[in-house]
Structure 1
Amino acid sequence: MKIQFIPAIILLSVFASCSTGNKPVDISPEGKAKDARYETTKVQEQALSSYTRIPGVLKPFNQVNIFPKANGFVKNILVDLGTRVKKGQLLMTLEAPELESQLQSANSRYLQSRENASASAEKYRRLKEAAREEGAVSQLDLDNALSRMRGDKAIAEAERSNVSSVRTMQDYLKVYAPFDGVIVDRNISPGALVSAGKSSDLPMLVLQDLTHMRLEVSIPEDYVDKVDLEQQVSFHFNALPGEKRKARISRSANSLGNMRQETVEIDVANKDNRLKAGMYAEVEIPLKSGSTSLLVPNAAIVRSTEKKYVVTVSGGKTQLVDIKEGMKGNDLTEVFGELKAGDEIISPANDEIKAGEKL
């Protein structure tokens, strides 16, 4: 009896389990996906790091493109590419034969007008002396002589100014260095015809002052009010690894350019001439202490060809909020947009999430 009773109990238990109303649990991947929910996190507000790293480019402190001031032919070139020059040093001479003819003609007219003015002055003097005797010279003749003297004197002054102008044009045939520097470009040779007033032409010479230089850095609009101008900046040049330098910001444009950036400049000494114009540098711009920014996880940012955005959750529905990125860390990224600290966002997010979805 005991041997037959045990199988009967087992059979009853099987029937009992089949007769219950419980449904089997779906443990397949599809079943899990039906119950999955997006993970969310909060927008954080934290203090910024003590600096931000921005690229900069080295430029000469002074640079000038030297164009001719008068039409002529290149006679002599006394400098070449790489020549170091001093302020006031003669760089090149031009020749213009027509200016010599103009000077002679202007000088002749001046001499003639000066003689006429001298004769008019002498005539007026004599008439004035003769007028002391009553009735010897009429007042009209005396007035006419005075007017003629003044007119001839004015003509002589005009001709003298014309001579000075032509001589000034001749002085333009000699080209001098406006400041100490290095010739970095030369585009003419002796015998070349050069013309004044054509900005489309290449400059004859390009002179740069390289003894000290300007490190130009463009600060993005979002950081403009956070830069600490009282602290020194640190920078190093990509061409000179391992050499870190420090200096203060020398000047600021106080205006945003076309790229919505403010340009600041840092004066850099270059006495050993190791630095070259055009070198790129990485500049660590100090930020004001206490400045805070909004941070989100890197995975929360959705990047498309049209925009960058994060997906916020409000009232159980999703919203797409456009953002701009700032500094980026290993896990968090600084963002700018219509966000505030504590906003709930989806992370990780993807472009399959649409606005208005119910969670």
Structure 2
Amino acid sequence: MSLCITMKSIKNRSTLILAVLAIAMSSLSACHSDEKEKQEQQQQEQQEEAVETPPVDLVPVEKGKLSSNIAIPGELIPYQQVDLYAKVNSYVKKLLVDIGSEVHAGQLLVVLEAPEINSQLAGAQSRIKQYEAIYFASKATYDRLLNTSKTPGTISLNDLDQAEAKKNADLANVESAKSSLKEVSSNLAYLEIRAPFDGVITNRNVNLGAYVGPGGKGSDPLFTLQDQKRLRLVVSVPENFTGALSTKSEVDFTVKALPNQKFKAKVQRLAGALDEKLRSERLEMDVYNKDKKLLPHMYADVNVPLPAGDSTFIVPKTAVVTSTEKVFVIRVVNHKAEWVGVKKGFSSDDQIEIYGDLKADDKIVKVATDEIRNGSAVKDK
């Protein structure tokens, strides 16, 4: 009997301990659950606050001058180039130069032959002698009538006037014949074609005995002459950059044939107007090419400097937002975002010029996006 009571007592105590442990575990679980809910709520509040009031880096707007440059393609063209044609219909009698020949101004390049011009020359000379003979006869007649008319009543005034008129007409015929001779003589001079300037023959389209004539549309020239000791480097600068161009600038360029060599040239000429199709301004530099490393019509990669103009606002590139709405920076005033519309200027490395309704030392967002809406609250990191 005593043993049964003892076992029953032990059993009741175990049940009590288990119940106490269960209650304790339940309390601990409830406390842990409450703490987890608090942490999640704090994280959510922090996220909502970060969305509503994003932390940003601010930088001041500063005045300065930003020099830049642009890389654009260019072309080397001869400083002077001319296509030489025959002035009169003729045949090639002598060829004195060929492709690659270096010539000097006034040097004889080709001799042409036109037999009909010699006939025309002889005819013109004969006509001069003919008209001179007629003129001398009419002049002698007029002189005799003039002397006879000094005796009153011998020669009528009308006969004297007609003799003088014939003499003057015959003199005019003589002068006309002399002019024709000069014209034919000039055509003879066209049978010799000479170089108009120092240069190199780069093209030849005739051979001995070939029939040539006045150059027209579609006809080939006898020769092409180029001045290669000085070349023109020609580039077209886009409209956006024309305001910074200057004839005091110096450019550097490279060509594909000599990739490891850099050349320099000074700006000499600005077109002063935009090309209607390209919307760009023509820029020319003189390149001295005495060693003839460069050839006409080579393409060049040109680096054109754009010197700084008036003092402007300089900001990081990341501070300028280009959205579908507009181009702007975000100014922060009293922890409020304010979109300020700007226009872009030159850029260099990680900085850019801007123009807009800003003041020096205004605080703007360094890394701006259109997700920071106009009027929203922001805070500095």
Give the TM-score normalised by structure 1: 0.74
Counterpart position of 1:275: 294
Distance 1:156 1:249, change over 3 A: same
Distance in 2, matches of 1:288 and 1:53, equals 17
Counterpart position of 2:178: 160
1:102-121 paired onto structure 2 within 5 Å: 102-121=120-139
**What one-letter code is carried by the residue in structure 2 that aligns with 1:141?**
D
Q: What's the CA shift for 1:261?
A: 1.9
Distance in 2, matches of 1:71 and 1:41, equals 81
Distance 1:126 1:266, change over 3 A: same
Distance in 2, matches of 1:176 and 1:226, equals 44
Distance in 1, matches of 2:53 and 2:81, equals 62
Structure (1 or 2) with the greater helix fraction: 2
Distance in 2, matches of 1:95 and 1:299, equals 77
Give the TM-score normalised by structure 2: 0.71
Distance in 2, matches of 1:77 and 1:37, equals 87
Q: What's the CA shift for 1:46?
A: 6.2
The correspondence for 1:89, drawn from 88, 107, 116, is 107
Alignment of 1:145 onto 2:160: no
1:220-251 CA distance string (max 9 Å, x none): 22222212433443444443344444443222
Find the structure with the greater CA-based Rg. Answer: 2
Distance in 1, matches of 2:248 and 2:281, equals 17
Alignment of 1:79 onto 2:94: no
The CA RMSD over aligned residues, in Å, is 4.5
Equivalent residues of 2:69, 2:303 under 8 A apart? no
Alignment of 1:266 onto 2:281: no
Distance in 2, matches of 1:122 and 1:327, equals 92
Q: How many residues align?
A: 344
Q: Greater shift after overlay, 285-294 or 69-78?
A: 285-294
Distance in 2, matches of 1:49 and 1:223, equals 12
Gaps of 5+ in 1: 354-358
Equivalent residues of 1:73, 1:95 under 8 A apart? yes
Percent same amino acid at aligned positions? 32
Equivalent residues of 1:46, 1:295 under 8 A apart? no
Equivalent residues of 2:66, 2:348 under 8 A apart? no
**What one-letter code is carried by the residue in structure 2 that aligns with 1:283?**
N
Distance 1:294 1:108, change over 3 A: farther
Equivalent residues of 2:67, 2:346 under 8 A apart? no
Tell me, what secondary structure is at the counterpart of 1:219?
A: strand
Equivalent residues of 1:232, 1:286 under 8 A apart? no
Distance in 2, matches of 1:262 and 1:194, equals 40
Q: Greater shift after overlay, 119-128 or 252-261?
A: 252-261
Tell me, what secondary structure is at the counterpart of 2:297?
A: coil
Counterpart position of 2:8: none
Distance 1:182 1:298, change over 3 A: farther
Equivalent residues of 2:344, 2:352 under 8 A apart? no
The correspondence for 2:251, drawn from 223, 233, 239, is 233
Distance 1:183 1:197, change over 3 A: closer
Q: What's the CA shift for 1:142?
A: 1.0
Equivalent residues of 2:253, 2:263 under 8 A apart? yes
Equivalent residues of 1:311, 1:349 under 8 A apart? no
